Every structure is written in structure tokens, then in C-alpha cells.
Structure 1
Amino acid sequence: MNPTHSHVVDGRRGLPAAQQPEWPDQNALRRITEELAAASPLVLVEECDRLRELLGAAARGEAFVLQGGDCAETFAGSTADAVQGTLRTLLQMALVLTHGASVPVVKVGRMAGQFAKPRSSRTETRGAVTLPSYFGDAVNGLEFTPEARRPDPARLRTAYETSAATLNLVRAFARGGSADLHRVQSWNRGFLTDTPAAARYERLAGEIDRTLAFMRACGVDPRQLHTTEFFTSHEGLLLDYEVALTRVDRESGRAYSAGAHLLWIGERTRDPAGAHVEFFSRIANPVAVKLGPSTTPDELMAYADRLDPDRTAGRLSFVVRMGRDRIRDLLPVLVEKAAGNGVRACWLTDPMHGNTFTVGGRKTRRFDDVLDEVRGFFEVHRALGSRPGGLHLELTGDDVTECLGGGRAMGVGDLRRDYASACDPRLNHSQSLDLAFLVAEMLQDAGETTGRDAGAATGRGAAQPASGGRDANLRRP
């Protein structure tokens, strides 16, 4: 790929750009972005195109997306053990989903670039001291000191270098045999095993071992089970960083982000007339938009028309974050609007952000609320005859105590024990597996319903949205 020419892909001039740092040293910013513009790409065009194909399959109901990882990566926390723990958790979840629902799972990490976070306020006050808010390690430090909270463009270089190191670990893990299905039992090592989810996983791993033994006895070549495809993603928040890492493909002449396979636009930066939507419209990667409860059908169509005017399957995903109490009321009109206008988006549910509350000064989420929003997401799609494309989760492979509930019944008192997130609360390994088993059951039910509908359908495919009214049971009692 050729380095980008900023006028080709930037598009920020004259457009509002929300949530951008107030860099105090513009000369330093220019030097750093010039370095990044000349740096090696982190991902390849072929990988981005492959992910677009897989997301298109998920949009058609032929696959399911599992996207997960840290709320906000930190430089200090991007260790080999932490990265491998998250990867093992995602692989275990994908295995559960695949085995339970008989669909291939597209694995996408919130990693190798998730170093910036939008904030509700630009400043934070503690006592009589007011400082800039923490916007992620790519911008400033978490420590509440004037030195740490001062935005430093040199952190953009560190974000690139840390992302490169993380991607090396990801590729080694995914392609070097650690993801081999013959090692499903070993993926649980280092994790707590005294949980219902862990015990259930062990039984599943035993079933898979027996299946693999049968395949070997039948002469099936096991080498195709040795590696797995794994992709990276992050919120494309910092436009200085994203523009610097954009490259123009020599063969196609199209611009691609070289910093991640998939970028998404967050709830606070999704202005259809803003700089983020404009920049995303100029790159060829698969892209996504977070849709909160205030999203209107007209806004949804504005995103579709700007980001996917050709209606290319896999190009555009919508990540819905409505909250458990609103998903059943607000999502149907958006799905119907998209279907009625030929939008071929992949629909994902983010059941985390709409269910956050504070206890004792700490943000947390209830596992049951997360599960209920996922259930509502499936109910809406089942009622409309559309496809639930996947999950978007904040999770970790560590035994943190940040979210309440789950199989181990995490309580409010546990929040003090191991709360490690730099920003929002994450599901721990056990809670992530709990959720995977429950979603596998939903997928199995959805597949059975689709099969019955396909058998009864006349004149149209079962994958087409129903034209009638909404299911009266969409609203949670």
C-alpha cells in the first residue's frame, strides 16, 4: 500500500469533529503524524476484504460475529498474558457458539488499537482540582496529575507500536497452533474451573475431542483445524491518528485504514454531517456505526447512504446499544427502515453500554440486564424475519470483578476485590462463557424458527423481512 495523501481521505476541513484532543503542541503533532504516515501498515488489504466477505455472510444469516475485548486498552496492560487471555476467552466463546448453533463464528477483537475513549465531559474535577478528562492512553494518562492529563501526541506513536506488538501476538496465537481445536482442553488452563460455565465448557471440550478422534479414525486431514482467522477492530475516534494510518492500495486505488481490519463510529461521534462519517466514507474497510436510543430512521439512512451507497454486503454494520428496557421498542423501526430501503447491513448487539450504572463511585453492569438486551435483540429480529448478526462485548480473560451476576453470582461487595478497567466495566472470563452458552441457545432457536419459516414460505425467502406489523410480544413485560 502507498502512504496516504491527506487531501484524498481526510475530509475534515470545515466539518465538525467531535471528541478530538486539544493538542497543546501542534508542531509535535505534525511530526508524529508524518512518522505514522510513513510507517508500515498494521493490517493488509486482503485481510480487510476477507472480513468484509465474512460480515456479508453474517448479514445473510450464514455466520455469526463475535466482537469483543477491552473497553480501553492500556499500554501497561497490553502484555502477552493479557492478550492471550482475551484471545482464549473469545476462542472458547466462539467454540460454544459454533458447536451449539452450527454456524461459523467470525472472530473480531476489540484490541490492537482501542487506546482512545470518548468522554461525556472534557474535564474531571476532584475536590478543588479540575484537569482534562482521561481520553485513553493514546491521548493522556490515567493518573490525576497535570503532567499525566496533558494530551501528548507522542502517545500516538506508542499506540501504533503497542498495536503492532499486540497484532504480532494475535497472529502467532491464531496461526501458530495455539488455536488448534485439538487443544480445546488446554484453553481453560489458568482460568477458574469452579464455575458452572467452566464445567459446562469442559464437557463440551470432551465432546469435541471425541469428534476429532472419530475424524482422525475416518482419515480426515486435521491440519485445517490447526489455525483460525482472527481480525482486529477499534473505534476510529482520533482522526489525526486514523488519517495518518490510511494507505492507498496500488492495485485498486482505494484507500484503506492500515490500523485495523474494521473501524467503528461511536455514539458520540456519529453526526451524519460530521468529520468522522466523512472520513469513514473514504476508506474501503468494513465499517460500523454505534446506534443509541436517540437514533432516528432518517439518521440510519443517512449513514447507509454516506457509508454504503452501493449496498455492498459486509461493508456496513450497525451496532445497537439501546438498553434492556428500550431495545424492543426502538429497534424494530430501524430494522424495518433498513430492510425497506435495500440496506444490507450486518446487525450486532452491544448489550453493555446501555445498561451501565454506578455503585459506590464505580461503574458496573448486571449480567441479567446484558442478557436481557441480547434476548430482546433476538426477539426483534425473529419477529421481523431479519438476521441477528452478532455480539459486540466489552470483556476480558482475567478474573476481574466489574460486572454483577453471572454463574458465580458476583455481588456489589465483590466490586472492590478486583476492579481493573481503565474506563467501563467488562465481563470476566466466567461471565463471558455464561453468556456464550445462553446465546448459543438463542441461535439454535433462531435457526429452528428460520427452518420452519423457510418450509412454510411461499413466494419469498425466509431471510426477507416480514411486511406485516410487529410482534406484540416484543415489549418486555
Structure 2
Amino acid sequence: MTPNKEWTPNSWRAKPIKHNVEYTNQEALGRVLENINNLPPLVSPAEIDRLNKQLEKVSKGEAFLLQGGDCAESFSGCNAQQIEDKIKILLQMSLVMIWGMRVPLIRIARMGGQYAKPRSANTEVVDGKEVLTFRGENINGLEVDDREPNPDRLLRGYFHSAATVNYIRTLLNSDFANLHFPQNWNLEWVKSEDIRSEYKEIINKLADAFDFMKTIGVENGSPTLSSIDFYLSHEGLMLEYEEAMTERIQRMSQDESGKTQKKLSFVSLEKLGTESLEKSGDKYYNLSSHFLWIGDRTRQINGAHVEYFRGIANPIGLKVGPSLDPEELVRLLDILDPDFIPGKVTLIGRYGVSKVQAFLPQHIKAVQATNHKVVWCCDPCHGNTASTPEGYKTREYNNVIGEIGLSFDIHKTLNSKLNGIHLELTGEHVTECTGGSMNIEAKDLSRNYQSFCDPRLNYLQSLDIAFMVAKKYQ
């Protein structure tokens, strides 16, 4: 896809912007952005191109997307154990789903840059005092005396993202990504004997399959088993940061055997170009992450976020909910995907179990009337958030799986297909969402509630969903 000639990485600045951060020291902000602009990219264009190809298959129903991770990352969470826990649960979920669904899984983590969150109000009252709302650790601090947006936090966000990306690459190039581990999975948290028995049966079948492959000569060192594609994502909220991480990649024509081909040249990189694209083959990549999405609160057609996203070569997500008119959805797709590239846009539905039947069919029918080939993804977490009388934000597991199940059914009824799920989860044994095979109740939430933002599915609740999706997909 070639951006319109009027597009540049900073053309969004001429558009109205929602949920922007107002920095009092613009000079300091400029220095930080220049510094970030000169730092190395976090991902490569080749990786992004590979993900584009894989999401094309997802849009055709030839693969399935699993996207998950924290609501918002914290700087303190950038440590070996927490990173390992998140990678482990995503690998285990994907293994269960591949076994049950018999299709390839594309794994995208909400990691390595998910440090900012849009908030519904600019201020909040803490201990009787009105203060600026906490917006994520790359903007301001959680402590009430650290709420002034600080540009230096953007730089800290970059380095924490870089450390996360580096450690993930280390893990995936080691035996950590080796899939010969199902027999070691811990199911002691499953309270229902029937469910534990069902899970153990599936896990034993997985272990037996791996033993068989070893017997016929597929050893642990096989690249197919010990290495995987694993991608990173975050919401593209802070456009100053995203602009600073945007690079122009010059694509050069090459004549081979009488055929003109396009070939990436990584020797010609230009950051923050202010001129329009002159060569039809050139592309702009956001190299802060493989995949970025536009949130439900920042998808205004004439807004800054849509303007920025329409020009990057990355695959992009668009949060879709009850407030989005079907006609407006089509207009957004026409802007973000003018060349009708299969898998270019992932529509991440966040309706809520009580509203999905009323609104998802309208959106499916609207897209079916166009030439857009999107990835349909279900986010069953954001539309199902509630608060307890004690003030805990939580999600009921039955509502989460209820929305997933209804989404599968609605797509099938309309001759469409649900292509993925998008979850807020952690690999830890937190108590933030109720229900699941641990039978967490509202009174249990205080036992190990750790999230400073939205509640996350814990380790076993995430595995519960993997088993459920595998069976539903069949």
C-alpha cells in the first residue's frame, strides 16, 4: 500500500486529536523525541512484512490470531519472571488451540510498548484531592504527586520496550520456545475434578504426540518445534512517539531474468521524512512494534490517529464497538485500507456479551458489502468490565466466554468467520476476574489483585479460554 502523496509521518499534527497529552515543557519534549528518533528501531521491516503475509492467511480463514497481554505494562513489570510468564501462557494457549483447531496460530503479544492508556476523564479524585488522571507510565506516575506528564518518560518507555523485546528474542532463540512441555503443566488450581480430568486428557494426548514425533526422528532441535514467529503490539496512542519511530524504507526496482521485481533495500532509511513519497515503491514503517491498533476512543474519521495510521505499512487494528455506526466503519476502512489488502486491517470487536448480538451483525453485513478482506477478532474483555461494591474492577469469566461463543455463532450464521481473539491476560495467578475453573468469587478478588489498570484473566482462566475456543472452533 502506498500512502497518498499528501501523507507524511507528521501530517497528523494538522488534524484534531483526542486523548492527547499536554506537556508544559515543549523544549524538553522536542529533545526527547529527537533522541528517540536517533535510537535503533525495535523491530524490522522484514518482520512486519512477514506478519502482513500471515494476517492475509488469517483473513482467509487459513490461520487463527491469538493476541493477548497486559491492559497496560508497567516499568516494574519489565523483569525476566513476568516476561517469561506472559510468553509461557501464550505459548501454552496456542498449543492447545492448534491441537484442537488444526490451523496455524499467529501469536501477537500486547507487550514491548503498551505503556499508555486513554482515560475517560483528565482528572480524578484521590483521597479527596483532585489530581490529573494516571495515563500510563510513559506519560506520568501512579503516585498522586507524580501526575504531571513528563517527556523523559517517553524515553524510559523506549528503553523498557527495548529490554522487553531483547529478552523475548533471547527466550525464543533458546529452549524456552520448545513445545515439548505439556506434561509439566500445573493444573493444581483447577477445582473441578471433571474439568481437571478433561484438561489432563488433552495434555496427555499432546505429550503423546510429541513423543511420537521424537520416535520418528523429529528431535527437540527441529526448527519447527523449537522456534516460532512471535509478534509484539500496542495501542498507537502517543503519536509523537510513534512519529519518532517511523522510518521510510526505500524499495528499489531490480530486473532479473527480464522480470521487474521489487526488493527491499535496508541501506536507505530516512526517519521523519517531511516530503511526500516520490517513489511508488517506498513505504513508511512504524518500527516501534509489529502491529498497532486504534482505540475505540481515538478512531475519529477526521482525527489525528486515523490520519497517522493510514500511511504506515504495518498491519493495523481498529477497535469496534456499539458506538460505531456501520456506515462510519466502511468509511474508516476506505481510509485505512484503500487498496483492499487482505488482512491489512484487523477489526477488534469489543461489544460486551449483552450487546454483541445487536451490533456485530450490522458490522459484518456492512463489511461484506465492500471489497475489504479484514481479520475479524473478538475482544471479550473490554465490553464486560464491572465494579464490585468494594471498588474492584473485574470481569466475569462466563461473560467473557459468552461473548466469544456468540461471536462464533453470529459469524457462522452470516457466512462469515471469526478469525481471532484479543485478551487482557497475565501468566500469573492473580485474582482480578471472577469465575473460571478456579471458581474465583468476588470475595476472593482482594487475595491477589495486582493490576493498576483493568482486570486481567489469570494463568488458568486463560487456559480455560484456550480449551473453550478449540472446542468451539471445531
Q: What's the TM-score, normalizing by structure 2?
A: 0.89
Aligned-residue offset at 1:44: 0.5
Matches within 5 A, 1:182-331: 182-186=180-184, 188=185, 192-195=188-191, 200-220=198-218, 223=222, 224-251=224-251, 252-331=281-360
Q: Secondary structure at the residue paired with 1:290?
A: strand
Q: Does 1:389 find its partner at 2:423?
A: no
Aligned to 1:375: 405
Structure 1 counterpart of 2:211, one-letter code? A
Inter-partner Cα distance in structure 1 for 2:165 and 2:211: 32
Aligned to 2:375: 346
Matches within 5 A, 1:427-442: 427-442=457-472
Inter-partner Cα distance in structure 2 for 1:50 and 1:414: 43
Matches within 5 A, 1:355-370: 355-359=384-388, 360-370=390-400
Q: Structure 1 residues 324 and 80, CA, compared in 2 at 3 Å: closer, same or farther?
A: same
Q: Deviations over 1:257-291 (max 9, x none)?
A: 11010000001101011000000011000001001
Inter-partner Cα distance in structure 1 for 2:349 and 2:209: 37
Q: Is the 8 A contact 1:109 1:231 kept in 2?
A: yes
Inter-partner Cα distance in structure 2 for 1:201 and 1:164: 36
Q: Is the 8 A contact 1:198 1:433 kept in 2?
A: no
The CA RMSD over aligned residues, in Å, is: 1.6
Structure 2 counterpart of 1:21, one-letter code? V
Inter-partner Cα distance in structure 2 for 1:208 and 1:192: 19
Q: Is the 8 A contact 1:193 1:199 kept in 2?
A: no
Inter-partner Cα distance in structure 1 for 2:182 and 2:59: 28
Q: Does 1:129 find its partner at 2:129?
A: yes
Q: Does 1:406 find its partner at 2:436?
A: yes
Aligned to 1:69: 69
Q: Is the 8 A contact 2:191 2:439 kept in 1?
A: no
Structure 2 counterpart of 1:209, one-letter code? A
Aligned-residue offset at 1:195: 4.7
Aligned-residue offset at 1:410: 0.5
Q: What stretches of structure 2 of length at least 5 have no aligned partner?
A: 1-5, 252-280
Q: Is the 8 A contact 2:66 2:94 kept in 1?
A: yes
Aligned-residue offset at 1:249: 1.2
Aligned-residue offset at 1:79: 1.2
Aligned to 2:448: 418
Following TM superposition, the consecutive aligned residue runs of length 4 or more in structure 1 with deviations greater than 6 angstroms are none
Inter-partner Cα distance in structure 2 for 1:195 and 1:270: 42
Inter-partner Cα distance in structure 2 for 1:315 and 1:419: 37
Q: Secondary structure at the residue paired with 2:175?
A: coil
Aligned to 2:275: none
Q: What's the TM-score, normalizing by structure 1?
A: 0.88
Q: Is the 8 A contact 1:319 1:350 kept in 2?
A: yes
Structure 1 counterpart of 2:462, one-letter code? S
Structure 2 counterpart of 1:164, one-letter code? A
Aligned to 1:53: 53
Q: Deviations over 1:208-227 (max 9, x none)?
A: 23222222333346502111
Q: Is the 8 A contact 2:7 2:311 kept in 1?
A: no
Structure 2 counterpart of 1:322, one-letter code? Y
Aligned-residue offset at 1:174: 2.0
Aligned-residue offset at 1:416: 0.8
Q: Structure 1 residues 216 and 26, CA, compared in 2 at 3 Å: closer, same or farther?
A: same
